[in-house]
Amino acid sequence: MDANTFLIQVLNGIQYGLLLFLVASGLTLILGIMGIINLAHGTFYMVGAYLAFSLSQHFGNLWLAMAGGVVIAVVIGLVLEWLLISRLYHRDHLYQVLLTYGLILIFEELRSVVFGDDVHGVAVPEILRVSIPLTETLSYPVYRLWMSAVCLVLAVGMYFLIQKTRLGMIIRAGAANREMVQSLGININLLYRLVFALGVALAAFAGMIAAPVASVFPGMGNQVLIVCFVVVVIGGIGSVKGAMLAAILIGLVDTFGKVISLEIGGVQLLPQLSGMMIYVLMAGVLLARPEGLFGKRA
């Protein structure tokens, strides 16, 4: 592997990692703050991608589609929390798993009813439809760089929101001690609703910006969901910092697992088994630190 290919793979790995971070950060916030295990989180990623697909056709412009899509995603998040999720706070995780599993079936089937089961593509916006040439044959698309930049901006924004603002302070307090925050006169139900909607919007937005490079297809949400679980397990529940580190790590491991070929004892291990790499990584972390890299010891 020469230096240019290596550079391209590093960029791809980081970009994939940052995208995972957007989805996983919502998942880990909802888990850490609300104590809700949300299997339908990957579904919101899919919803975002399909929103980008249908709205960009409708408006003829991906930027407008993204703006509209985020608004719709927030509304979906608020309604779902109000209608269903808010009834699960006092229930066992088991029921959270089942209800959100039911939601996956509903959203997947609605997707099938409305859009069918075909794979769709979304066009890259015109200004970003350029590539940076590296050598005569290799180049790197600007859209991917833009994606990474947007994810980074959002990550910094989230860090600022949670660590530096009053709202973030209340969110952190709510995660530490729900009853205490409530008795201090803060409307914890409203706070939870906002956190849930924020998580949904982040996942949907990730789906929207990923749509032009990853295409839009059935089952895309579940694929992302399980990788995000691995991210959360490695990073530690509720830790946004941990999610960031784990997401980049997994992005790189997954990307390089697909391009490196590895043979041990005449058996081709990579890239054939690249799909398993991140789980092996997770197993390693579990052996060393069952609570995740940045998780609190139970």
Per-residue CA distances from 106 to 99, 100, 203 (Å): 11, 10, 18
Asked if 274 is part of the footprint of another protein (rule: CB under 8 A), the reply reads yes
Nearer to another protein, 60 or 102 (CB): 102
Whether 258 contacts 209, CB under 8 Å:
no
Distance CA 234, CA 222 (A): 19
Asked if 296 is part of the footprint of another protein (rule: CB under 8 A), the reply reads no
Please identify, among the stretches 4-12, 15-23, 100-108, 185-193, the one whose residues bind another protein according to the rule CB under 8 A: 100-108
List Cβ neighbours of 50 (8 Å cut-off, separation of 6 or more).
111, 114, 115, 207, 216
Q: Which of 6, 7, 60, 95 binds another protein (CB under 8 A)?
A: 95
Whether 228 contacts 18, CB under 8 Å:
no
Distance CA 90, CA 96 (A): 10
Asked if 240 is part of the footprint of another protein (rule: CB under 8 A), the reply reads no
Give the angle 103-109-114 at the CA atoms, nearest 5°. 125
Asked if 297 is part of the footprint of another protein (rule: CB under 8 A), the reply reads no
Asked if 119 is part of the footprint of another protein (rule: CB under 8 A), the reply reads no
Q: Which of 237, 246, 247, 248 binds another protein (CB under 8 A)?
A: 237
Secondary structure class of 163 (helix, strand, coil): helix
Q: Which of 18, 23, 29, 37 binds another protein (CB under 8 A)?
A: 37
Asked if 264 is part of the footprint of another protein (rule: CB under 8 A), the reply reads no
Nearer to another protein, 117 or 165 (CB): 117
Binding site for another protein (CB under 8 A): 31, 35, 37, 84, 87, 90-91, 93-95, 97-99, 101-110, 112-113, 222, 226, 229-230, 232-233, 237, 272-276, 279-280, 282-283, 286-287, 290-291, 298
